[in-house]
Amino acid sequence: MKERIERLKKLTYIPQKEIAWLIEQAELSVKQQEIIEENKRQQEVTVHQFRQAQKDIQHLSGESRRYKQALEKIITNLNFAITVAQNELEGAAE
């Protein structure tokens, strides 16, 4: 392709066939640029979605930790209440 372009630069008259080829190449270049821009846009959307997913995961991980801690406190309190109730039952049985 480069050779053909260099040859065309040297011509004073460009045949119709060569003009058609140049137009075709220009159209292909425009289509390629549009594809590149669309791919770049899709990449930006994907990056944004990925970052949002990371934030969501961090948020959910934090919530999970808080729920786990709350559940552990409830279990500790229940174990304490069970122990107290067992002690009262043993005291009442004696």
pTM of the predicted model, to two decimals? 0.56
Cα atoms in the Cβ-side hemisphere of radius 13 Å centred on 40: 6
Q: pLDDT tens across 51-75, in order?
A: 999 999 999 999 999 999 999 999 9
Under 8 Å between Cβ of 14 and 8: yes
Q: Range with the lowest mean pLDDT among 8-12, 33-37, 44-48?
A: 8-12
